[in-house]
Amino acid sequence: MHTIQPLRTAVLDTRSRPLRDLRISVTDRCNFRCTYCMPKEVFGRDYQFLPSHMLLTFEEIRRLAQIFLGLGAEKIRITGGEPLIRREVERLIEMLAPLEGLQDLTLTTNGSLLAKKAQSLKDAGLRRVTVSLDALDDTVFKAMNDVAFPVARVLEGIEVARSVGLTPIKVNMVVQRGVNDHCVVAMAKHFHGTDVILRFIEYMDVGATNGWRMDEVLPAADIVERVHAVLPLEAVESQYRGEVARRYRYLDGGGEIGLIASVTQPFCGDCTRARLSSEGQLYTCLFGTSGHDLRSLLREGRTDAEISAVVGQVWQRRTDRYSELRSQASSGLRKVEMSHIGG
């Protein structure tokens, strides 16, 4: 078995950005068909998802995770697709949790299976969860997830996760003008006064299948203005370099919200994230057009030191700043789908 002790030799890219966060997709499948992510017109019944032999095994994921930790990564987030539909994902959590150098282990989910799995995830070593929820209005939410999944079951998952200690819980709401932007204040009111951190995400041009248009983006500044008018806010300093959410707290002590504004307020300058797709492609940008094949290195029998050198070189050559350069021309590129590499 190949092993490598994390030397904590942090690597920097061409803009002096360290590698700190690793997002690992464990499946390209999802049980939702959210219109802004996996529209049915593309991801229909005949869509060919990855066969199981192309997916990284849990042992391969663990090995790569340790290599990334050795290059300075501190935080791992498990994503998808919908990660909770990957069979025995709790076993993967159990394998990752004790890795040397790991400071935070978390998971992003649509919440559909969270009530059922929260306890086993916590027992396996998961620390916290982020749940995607785009509206409290059942009609709006069902239309957006496009499989008629009810809000109540996602809220149940959030409550069970809270009860077992997968906290602090974050809830992500993708805001799309003309679709669910009228739900912004209701969401803020619902989670105000709780320990759940609500984060509003501008509708982004991730991938090439969601028909993204700039006029459907509700700027983060407008979102803040709408919430502030009802529940007064003040800006809060970021907690660490590379934090993508701009934080605001309620003046009455009712908690905080975050704004992720890749479209109107790019955060490329401090991006510290690498993304590993479910079949082992390394992407250095959410808006990437191509990845670097790490699965082949694993299955060719390369040593950990050899793979570490490849990953380090990829990161050191990294120049990505898509959201700072976004233009009509670049928006038309065939970018990797968010369902393939996670958010």
Structure tokens at 140: 């709006």
Residue 330 pLDDT class (50, 70, 90 cuts): very low
Tell me: the pLDDT tens digits for 280-308? 999 998 767 778 999 999 999 999 999 99
Assess whether pLDDT exceeds 80 at residue 256: yes
pLDDT above 70: percentage of residues in the chain:
87
Question: Is 285 inside a domain boundary?
Answer: yes
Assess whether pLDDT exceeds 60 at residue 4: no
Question: Is 8 inside a domain boundary?
Answer: no
Query: Of 10-19, 142-151, 165-174, which range is least confident?
Result: 10-19
Question: Is 244 inside a domain boundary?
Answer: yes
Q: Which of 103, 153, 157 is nearest to 125 (CA)?
A: 103
pLDDT computed for residue 341 by the predictor: 60
Residue 98: how many other CB atoms lie within 10 Å = 9
Greater model confidence, 333 or 129? 129
Question: Is 243 inside a domain boundary?
Answer: yes
Greater model confidence, 113 or 264? 113
pLDDT computed for residue 323 by the predictor: 53
pLDDT computed for residue 326 by the predictor: 46
CA 4 – CA 304 distance, rounded (Å): 6
Domain of 159, CATH number, reads 3.20.20.70
DSSP per residue, 295-323: HHHHHTT--HHHHHHHHHHHHHT----HH
Residue that the structure tokens 């992510």 belong to: 37
Greater model confidence, 130 or 260? 130
- The average pLDDT across 131-136 equals 98
CA 65 – CA 47 distance, rounded (Å): 30
Q: How far is CA 79 from CA 43, 83, 114, 238, 264, in A?
A: 18, 5, 14, 24, 25
Residue that the structure tokens 């490849």 belong to: 310
Greater model confidence, 84 or 291? 84
Question: Is 140 inside a domain boundary?
Answer: yes
Tell me: the pLDDT tens digits for 35-68? 888 999 999 999 999 999 999 999 999 999 999 9
Tell me: the pLDDT tens digits for 187-219? 999 999 999 999 999 987 665 555 557 878 999
Backbone angles phi, psi at 106, to 5 degrees: -140, 175
Question: Is 6 inside a domain boundary?
Answer: no
Query: Of 16-20, 86-90, 243-247, which range is least confident?
Result: 243-247
pLDDT computed for residue 321 by the predictor: 66
CA 97 – CA 166 distance, rounded (Å): 14
Question: Is 121 inside a domain boundary?
Answer: yes
Q: Count of domains in the chain?
A: 1
pLDDT computed for residue 342 by the predictor: 61
- Across the chain, mean pLDDT equals 89
Question: Is 60 inside a domain boundary?
Answer: yes
| Structural domain of 99 | 21-341
Dihedral angle at the C-alpha atoms of 263, 235, 128, 83, nearest 10 degrees? -10
Structure tokens at 54: 């192309």
Evaluate if pTM is beyond 0.85.
yes
